[in-house]
Amino acid sequence: MAGIKIAVFISGRGSNLEAILDSINREEIKGEVALVISDRKDAKGLERSKERSIPSVYIGKSNYSDNESRVDKILEVLELKEIDLIVLAGYMSIVDTSIVRKYKNKIINIHPSLIPSFSGKGYYGSFVHKAVLDYGVKITGATVHFVDEDTDTGPVIIQEAVKVFDEDTVDSLSKRVLGIEHEILPKAIKLFAENKLVIEGRIVKRRD
Ligand code: GAR
């Protein structure tokens, strides 16, 4: 299918990657996942993408020991596949500034809270939901945003709220938030692929 070429960066389970692939299969997103990069050799998502015959590569500390060689390798494969959009879907490494600069406004991230709450350094995966429960907020959610040179600070594309219940655990809350992630991440990619996102300063507007 003609459309944009997407690289998905993962570190673990890869359920957001699956949601993207399902959305492409339903022909909602004009594009293809042309590359999956994992910073963990044993990432479940890497097995899943290989099963689906998607070019998938592990680039991590055990095969590229220093940061410079990892960045060089990542840039090399991104260029080789002529990637238009990078999607961070549960990628737990910091994306190097040189990659962020080269792919300015072409990298998006899914975060399991309503940014700017419970975001930034140290807030990832289940730590986010634990912090939400410990603080006692009554509403949390998920955010898709463009990636800038800081952590979780780039322009917000889509946010969706999720209620926090008294009886919630990290597990129950993360499952509910994940359900929302699987809706809003493909939605944001669809808008990007259709060139419907306009960035004005740090405000993202949709054009029809
Ligand atoms: C998702 O909840 C995602 O929002 C979170 O990791 C999980 C990955 O799940 N990402 C972050 O916390 C990034 N700061 P998945 O591997 O099943 O898509």
Domains and their CATH numbers in the chain: 4-197 (3.40.50.170)
- Which ligand 1 atom is the nearest neighbour of the CA of 11? 16
Using a cut of 0.85, tell me whether the model's pTM lies above it. Answer: yes
- pLDDT tens digits, one per residue of 7-64: 999 999 999 999 999 999 999 999 999 999 999 999 999 999 999 999 999 999 999 9
Strand, coil or helix: what is 196? coil
Q: Which two tokens stand for residue 114?
A: 């309503």
Q: Of 21, 113, 117, 181, which is best to mutate to test ligand 1, by the most ligand atoms within 8 angstroms of its C-beta? A: 181
Q: What is the biggest distance separating any 2 CA atoms in the chain, rounded to whole angstroms?
A: 49
Rounded distance, CA 154 to CA 141, Å?
17
- pLDDT tens digits, one per residue of 112-134: 999 999 999 999 999 999 999 99
- pLDDT tens digits, one per residue of 154-189: 999 999 999 999 999 999 999 999 999 999 999 999
Rounded distance, CA 111 to CA 129, Å?
11
Residue among 149, 69, 137, 140 at smallest CA distance from 104: 149
- Which ligand 1 atom is the nearest neighbour of the CA of 89? 18
Residue 67 annotated as lining a ligand binding site:
no
